[in-house]
């Protein structure tokens, strides 16, 4: 769930930019777009609207006459090549006439088109169309936000296009002027004049269309110039209008959320926190449904405020945000199902059972969006983990005899790296041992457990090997073990190591190459763990004392060389 919230949080910057853009509206649009991008190149003379309308109407009459002429020529044309050329010219003239008529209407109406206000025809019932009708006002609001910008950009592109065409045609005309037409014969001269006239008409045509587009641009920018406001006024309007709507929507959502959570807390307080195991799954399922209902009602509260305030733009943005969140969460459905099973306590990890996490055993205390894990053997051994962390783990019932950690505070341990010390600190991150002389050594938790700590505070056994000469072979398995056992026991008691001693054994180990070896074993309770190393050293000393007391020789390794006479 945390991934999904993090993924959904990526939408927040986009939303913030949209809101700032909505607050400013179109008031700053005039500053972003120059009023006349090609003024330095063309510098057309200023003309009144009436003059321009007269020119457009005059041009329409000329083109209509030209269209009629071309239509008659098409009817009388015989070959297909001529017909095809005339059809292309008629299509071009028809398009230009339609554009001029539309331009005339837009100049008169200040940029509005009649097609935008025509009534729609009634249609039969269709749920898909009805749904589109419902969404259409919202989408229309979004479209209207950029309507002027798109029209202005379109006009700008048209101006640039006609300017580029004028430049191209002028190059062709300059090329035509370089030709000496005095030397042309009559047929060639007629064709030359026709081509020259056609290119000059193209210049006039593009110049005329560019002036019309520029006039439309000026007419669209005039209302914006009149309505320009200061940045402070824009902010004031935002906080009074759309900003207030946002505030009310968020307040309504928080109010609904708070009331629902308060009701849930009241029910829990009345019923108590203890729930029978059989009904725990049902209670959890109802709790999840209640949380989902809380979120849905909070969202409904936001849309209700937008509806009452009549702000369809914010409605549309909220819908887009919800759709974006749904798209982000689409690929997380399998993971969501797994987490839902855990929350219902029917997954692979269940409350009251034992799991292994980060190398440590943990008791699952509670399963929630952030679950609680407890290790009873560690001071402060309680952590919170996201529910998605537990989806790949599994739990089992813990036995009463199972330890939760190899040692406890103040225990003495012996590690595989031959370090012996007393445990002073145990945390979920590491362990601190106090060595002889007061030095302390720290281990990471995984490194400490990897050294297989031997806990001496629960009891321990120390063994040592000792060998005597083969001359005592006749009593090696009878008298000698008894002598070593009695001597070691007496010596340990004299040295003050007998209080927590539980057993002493001496057994014949093996007949080695040059000695008869014995294994001496002493068992101690955990209270003697602080004397582990002194006891270990004392065993060898006491074995030597027994040999001295009973005149037993200790052998040494010998090398015997057998010489064979030649």
Condensed to tens digits (0 to 9), the pLDDT of residues 218-270 reads 777 765 544 455 556 666 776 777 788 889 999 999 999 999 989 888 887 88
The 10 Å Cβ neighbour count of residue 292 is 10
pLDDT (0 to 100) of residue 28: 35
Is 210:162 a contact under the CB 8 Å cutoff?
yes
Q: Are residues 425 and 495 in the same domain?
A: no
- What is the distance between the alpha carbons of residues 209 and 397, in angstroms, rounded to a whole number? 85
Highest mean pLDDT among 132-141, 179-188, 384-393: 384-393
Q: Are residues 487 and 430 in the same domain?
A: no
Residues 261, 266, 269: CA angle, nearest 5 degrees? 125
Q: Are residues 464 and 427 in the same domain?
A: no
**What's the average model confidence in pLDDT over 425-434?**
90
Is 305:245 a contact under the CB 8 Å cutoff?
yes
What residue has token string 């294994």? 519
Query: pLDDT digit string (tens) for 12-54?
Result: 444 444 444 444 443 333 333 333 434 434 444 455 677 777 7
Total domains present in the chain: 3
Q: Are residues 467 and 518 in the same domain?
A: yes
- What is the distance between the alpha carbons of residues 424 and 429, in angstroms, rounded to a whole number? 14
- What is the distance between the alpha carbons of residues 235 and 257, in angstroms, rounded to a whole number? 29
Q: Are residues 170 and 216 in the same domain?
A: yes
Q: Rg of the Cα trace of the chain?
A: 49
Q: At 440, which helix (H) or strand (E)? A: strand 440-444
Residue 466 belongs to domain with CATH number: 3.30.300.100
In a domain, residue 262? The reply is no
- What is the distance between the alpha carbons of residues 464 and 505, in angstroms, rounded to a whole number? 11
Question: In terms of pLDDT, which residue wins out, 425 or 564?
Answer: 425
pLDDT (0 to 100) of residue 15: 42
In a domain, residue 223? The reply is yes
Is 339:392 a contact under the CB 8 Å cutoff?
no
What residue has token string 């709507």? 245
- What is the distance between the alpha carbons of residues 416 and 389, in angstroms, rounded to a whole number? 32
- What is the distance between the alpha carbons of residues 542 and 490, in angstroms, rounded to a whole number? 9
Q: Are residues 494 and 463 in the same domain?
A: yes
Query: Residue 179 — pLDDT band, cuts 50, 70, 90?
Result: confident
According to DSSP, the residues that pair with 461 across neighbouring strands are 523
> What tokens were used for 130?
């009805």
pLDDT (0 to 100) of residue 21: 41
CA 370 to chain centre: 18
Query: pLDDT digit string (tens) for 320-377?
Result: 888 888 888 777 777 778 888 888 888 888 888 999 988 889 999 888 888 999 998 8
Q: Are residues 74 and 194 in the same domain?
A: yes
pLDDT (0 to 100) of residue 81: 81
- What is the distance between the alpha carbons of residues 89 and 400, in angstroms, rounded to a whole number? 98
**By C-alpha distance, which of 297, 226, 306 is closest to 258?**
297
**Does residue 160 surpass a pLDDT of 60?**
yes
Is 245:311 a contact under the CB 8 Å cutoff?
yes
Q: Are residues 222 and 158 in the same domain?
A: yes
**Does residue 432 surpass a pLDDT of 90?**
yes
Query: pLDDT digit string (tens) for 58-111?
Result: 888 888 888 888 888 888 887 888 888 888 888 888 888 888 777 776 666 555
- Measured over the CA atoms of residue 57, residue 207, residue 225 and residue 151, the dihedral's sign is positive
In a domain, residue 534? The reply is yes
Q: What is the DSSP letter of 396?
A: B
Helix axes 49-76, 80-109, angle to 10 degrees: 160
**What's the average model confidence in pLDDT over 528-546?**
92
- What is the distance between the alpha carbons of residues 525 and 410, in angstroms, rounded to a whole number? 15
* Residues in CB range of 464: below 8 A, 6 or more apart: 519, 520, 536, 539, 540, 543
Domain boundary among 227, 251, 284: 227
- Kindly report the average pLDDT of the chain as a whole number: 79
In a domain, residue 39? The reply is yes
Q: At 367, which helix (H) or strand (E)? A: none
In a domain, residue 243? The reply is no
Q: Are residues 167 and 197 in the same domain?
A: yes
pLDDT (0 to 100) of residue 280: 65
pLDDT (0 to 100) of residue 133: 66
CA 453 to chain centre: 41
Domain boundary among 179, 211, 227: 227
Q: Are residues 195 and 153 in the same domain?
A: yes
Q: At 414, which helix (H) or strand (E)? A: strand 412-414
- What is the distance between the alpha carbons of residues 85 and 350, in angstroms, rounded to a whole number? 83
Is 430:445 a contact under the CB 8 Å cutoff?
yes
CA dihedral 194, 195, 200, 201 (to 10 degrees): 70
pLDDT (0 to 100) of residue 557: 63
Q: Which domain holds residue 98?
A: 35-111+129-227
* Residues in CB range of 357: below 8 A, 6 or more apart: 373, 385, 389, 393
Of 194-203, 277-286, 413-422, 521-530, the poorest mean pLDDT is in 277-286
Q: Assign 412 to helix, strand or coil.
A: strand
> What tokens were used for 443?
């281990």
> What tokens were used for 454?
């031997």
In a domain, residue 558? The reply is no
In a domain, residue 481? The reply is yes
Query: Residue 411 — pLDDT band, cuts 50, 70, 90?
Result: very high
Q: Assign 362 to helix, strand or coil.
A: strand
> Cα-flanking dihedrals φ and ψ of residue 361, to 5°?
-80, 140
**By C-alpha distance, which of 455, 443, 442, 445 is closest to 403?**
455
In a domain, residue 88? The reply is yes
* pLDDT above 70 as % of the chain: 77
**What's the average model confidence in pLDDT over 503-526?**
92
> Cα-flanking dihedrals φ and ψ of residue 364, to 5°?
-75, 105
Q: How many CA atoms lie within 13 A of 246 on its CB side?
A: 17
**What's the average model confidence in pLDDT over 282-298?**
85
Q: Are residues 440 and 465 in the same domain?
A: no
**Does residue 120 surpass a pLDDT of 60?**
no
Residues 113, 115, 119: CA angle, nearest 5 degrees? 130
Q: Are residues 54 and 166 in the same domain?
A: yes
Which CA distances in Å does 172 have to 110, 175, 201, 207? 36, 5, 12, 16
- What is the distance between the alpha carbons of residues 430 and 425, in angstroms, rounded to a whole number? 8
CA 195 to chain centre: 66
Residue 445 belongs to domain with CATH number: 2.30.30
Which CA distances in Å does 519 have to 8, 331, 467, 557? 69, 66, 9, 19
- What is the distance between the alpha carbons of residues 566 and 551, in angstroms, rounded to a whole number? 42
Domain boundary among 163, 192, 227: 227
Residues 476, 477, 483: CA angle, nearest 5 degrees? 75
């Amino acid at each position: 769930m945390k991934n999904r919230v993090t993924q959904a949080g990526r939408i927040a910057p986009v939303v913030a930019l949209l809101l700032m853009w909505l607050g400013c509206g179109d008031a700053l649009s005039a500053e972003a777009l120059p009023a006349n991008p090609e003024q330095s190149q063309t510098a057309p003379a200023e003309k009144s609207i009436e003059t321009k309308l007269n020119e457009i109407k005059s041009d329409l009459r000329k083109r209509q006459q030209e269209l009629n002429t071309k239509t008659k020529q098409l009817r009388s044309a015989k070959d297909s090549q001529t017909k095809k050329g005339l059809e292309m010219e008629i299509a071009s003239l028809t398009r230009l006439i339609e554009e001029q008529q539309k331009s005339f209407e837009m100049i008169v109406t200040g940029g509005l088109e009649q097609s935008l206000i025509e009534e729609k025809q009634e249609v039969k019932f269709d749920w898909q169309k009805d749904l589109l009708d419902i969404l259409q006002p919202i989408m229309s609001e979004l479209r209207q936000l950029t309507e002027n910008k798109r029209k202005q950009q379109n006009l700008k592109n048209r101006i640039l296009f006609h300017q580029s065409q004028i430049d191209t045609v002028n190059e062709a005309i300059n090329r035509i002027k370089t030709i000496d037409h005095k030397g042309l014969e009559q047929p060639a001269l007629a064709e030359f004049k026709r081509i020259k006239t056609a290119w000059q008409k193209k210049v006039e045509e593009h110049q005329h269309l560019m002036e019309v587009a520029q006039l439309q641009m000026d007419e669209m920018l005039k209302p914006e110039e009149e309505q320009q406001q200061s940045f402070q006024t824009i902010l004031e309007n935002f906080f009074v209008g759309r900003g207030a709507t946002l505030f009310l929507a968020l307040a309504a959502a928080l109010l609904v959320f708070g009331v629902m959570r308060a009701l849930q807390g009241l029910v829990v307080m009345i019923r108590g926190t203890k729930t029978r195991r059989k009904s725990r799954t049902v209670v959890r399922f109802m709790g999840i449904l209640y949380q989902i209902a809380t979120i849905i009602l909070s969202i409904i509260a936001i849309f209700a405020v937008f509806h009452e305030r009549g702000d369809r733009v914010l409605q549309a943005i909220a819908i887009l945000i919800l759709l974006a969140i749904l798209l982000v969460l689409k690929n997380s459905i399998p993971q969501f199902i797994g987490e839902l099973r855990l929350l219902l306590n029917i997954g692979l990890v269940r409350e009251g059972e034992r799991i292994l996490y980060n190398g440590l055993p943990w008791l699952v205390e509670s399963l929630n969006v952030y679950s609680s894990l407890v290790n009873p053997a560690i001071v402060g051994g309680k952590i919170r983990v996201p529910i998605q962390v537990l989806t790949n783990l599994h739990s089992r019932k813990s036995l009463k005899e199972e330890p939760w950690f190899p040692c406890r505070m103040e225990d003495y341990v012996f590690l595989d790296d031959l370090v012996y010390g007393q445990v002073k600190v145990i945390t979920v991150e590491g362990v601190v041992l106090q060595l002889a002389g007061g030095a302390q050594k720290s281990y990471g938790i995984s490194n400490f457990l990897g050294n297989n700590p031997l806990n001496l505070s629960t009891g321990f056994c120390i063994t040592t090997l000792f060998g005597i000469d083969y001359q005592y072979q006749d009593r090696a398995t009878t008298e000698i073990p008894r002598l070593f056992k009695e001597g070691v026991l007496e010596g340990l008691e004299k040295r003050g190591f007998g209080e927590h001693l539980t057993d002493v054994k001496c057994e014949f180990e093996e007949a080695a190459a040059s000695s008869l070896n014995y294994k001496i074993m002493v068992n101690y309770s955990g209270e003697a763990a602080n004397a582990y190393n002194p006891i270990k050293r004392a065993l060898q000393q006491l074995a030597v004392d027994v040999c001295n007391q009973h005149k037993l020789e200790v052998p040494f390794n010998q090398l015997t060389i057998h010489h064979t006479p030649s």
